[in-house]
Chains A and B, each alone.
Chain A
Amino acid sequence: MSRVVLITGASKGLGFTLASFLAGQGYDLVITARRENELNAAAEKLRSAGIIVTALAGDVADPAHRRALVEAAQKLGQLELLVNSASILGPAPMPTLTEFPLDELRRVFEVNLIAPIALVQETLPLLKSSKGLVINLSSDAARGAYETWGGYGSSKAALELASLTLANELEEHGVSVVTVDPGDMRTEMAEIAFEGDVEDRPLPEVTLPFWAWLLGQDRMAVSGQRYEAQSEQWEIAS
């Protein structure tokens, strides 16, 4: 049966780089992002690897959209990987927490925290049967307490704790969960956050060796770990 990956935020940046790498390894893909044109263009490029790509544009915070994603994954084959890559920064320029509009803050948490947890809930039967792996993308902002990064950072900090908890809760079902901080990169998100000043940052391809390594490991050996994709070293539980 075909091996399937569901990856959110896959039209550009890190999500697209990872999707291309997975396509090159022969996985079929279900991809999503909000902007339909960009998503379809990404899907076209990914199909050149000779794999099947289902591209569904929409908002991961929308339950109906998530249902469609899960159904699409089920239809394609065996869901082995869920990659929660979609996330938002909130208003630009980024406000301090004391001035953060609360509706916007709720929206950041909806997309960055609730949606990944919801997708784990909704794909759980599929992940249980494949002994699959959930990859939640985080950031050093989850730990850095940088000024004006409080909305995004606290949502990612919460996601990191949720990942650890899920890893513990799902161990008996053979489902693994890891957190990955990809490090500084030249992406659209970085461009917004740093107001264009991103030229000295590496392209997302710099993380490929890490993905190659992570996907090659026994999943239970990495579950519950937090990895930095650009660090000098990646260790397994021993």
Chain B
Amino acid sequence: MKRESLVFDRPGELQATEPPEARGIERDEVRLLVSTPEGHQHAHFRDLPNFLREGDVLVVNRSATIPASLKAQGKVGEFTLNLSTHYGRNLWLTEPRWDADRPGPLPIDPGDEIELPGTRARIVAPYPGLPALWFVQAEKSLWGSMGCCGSPIRYGYVDQQLPLDAYQTIFAAHPGSAEMPSAARPFTYRVLRALRKKGVILASLVLHTGVSSQEVEEEDIEEHTLYPEPFHVPYLTASVVNKALRENRRVIAVGTTVVRALEAAWNGEEVRPSGGFTRIYVHPGRGIHTVHGLITGLHDPVTSHLAMLSALAGEKMIREAYEEAVREEYLWHEFGDSHLILTR
């Protein structure tokens, strides 16, 4: 797939700069674009059960968002250290930035000592192929630093610092995501009750998201580097998904993280219970084997997420859907509107 096929024009104002609650509506009252092979419809997230049927399996991510943004002090002065992924033993992949509005690169080098809340740390090495990301070894646990002094990662398009709760989904149970697995943000208990009444089955897994993916710069998008993320697909979820696949029922992922985890667990025949780190890159050349639908937000141009959407539903359906979303002025980003893609 070529880079140009992920390019589209999103007007700058079509982005949510605050949560729907701040705009006077409930989480489940954001808009829902429904894309199927028959065409595109406009609804609200509360209407989700109307588009699903008995026996559909919804797979959700139970990862919770962590207050991963820390103030740091180093030879460059004060800066922001956004934690992306814990590799174990106080070693983290991180994104050093000036602040929410200004990314790096910062003039830092391996061996630099930095001060974080409650501990010192040392810059170890850049991530190969992704020079904005650095491995950092802390002397003490950074969970303590986050607990006292961390805040949720925020980028410039969100006006103000919001409490961590604004970044949790109803399914959040296992802390570890640097950024909210935001596809599930519009789910509320009234939506869950309606889904249960309908006979929709819920299964869960964990994938901890790292910091926002970088724009694809390579001409062939398959060349783009993705870094790995921790995942765990439990036995029960693998069984439920495999049974649905055998019985020709639909499996619908809530979030691109769920697609990534299920594809990581796919062995060519079925979904295996599995866990570890995966950097699987789901693009049209690779295909998707485990899901028939996806609930997700609206993704920016030239991101790897768009390649995943095309892998699921084909380039044409996604392009039309995004034209529709721009025309109807849907809102992008983690506090924005929602998109249900069904391939059958």
User: Which residues of A pack against B, CB within 8 Å?
Assistant: 20-21, 24-26, 48-50, 202-203, 205-206, 208-209, 212-213, 215-217, 232-236, 238
Contact = CB atoms under 8 A, between A and B. Distances in A.
B264 interface: yes
Interface string B114-131: 000000001111011100
B227 to A, nearest CB: 7
Interface residues of B, number: 30
Contact of A232 (B110, B123, B278): B278
A234 B276 contact: yes
Interface in B48-96: 86-89, 91, 93
A201 B312 CA distance: 32
Main secondary structure of the interface of B (DSSP, over half): strand
A48 B91 contact: no
A226 to B, nearest CB: 14
Nearest to B230: A213
B276 A236 contact: yes
Nearest to B278: A233
Given A232-B280, A233-B264, A215 B88 contact: yes
A202 B125 CA distance: 16
Given A205-B128, A208-B128, A213 B122 contact: no
Contact of A213 (B87, B125, B127, B273): B87
21 contacts: A24-B122, A25-B91, A48-B111, A49-B110, A49-B111, A205-B125, A206-B129, A208-B135, A209-B127, A209-B128, A213-B277, A216-B87, A216-B89, A217-B88, A232-B278, A232-B279, A233-B228, A235-B274, A235-B275, A236-B275, A238-B232
B17 interface: no
A233 B280 contact: yes
A20 B110 CA distance: 10
Contact of B88 (A21, A49, A213): A213
A24 B275 contact: no
Contacts of A48: 111
Given A206-B129, A209-B227, 20 more contacts: A20-B125, A21-B125, A24-B111, A24-B135, A25-B137, A26-B122, A49-B111, A205-B125, A206-B128, A208-B128, A212-B93, A213-B87, A216-B88, A216-B91, A232-B278, A232-B280, A233-B277, A233-B280, A235-B274, A238-B274
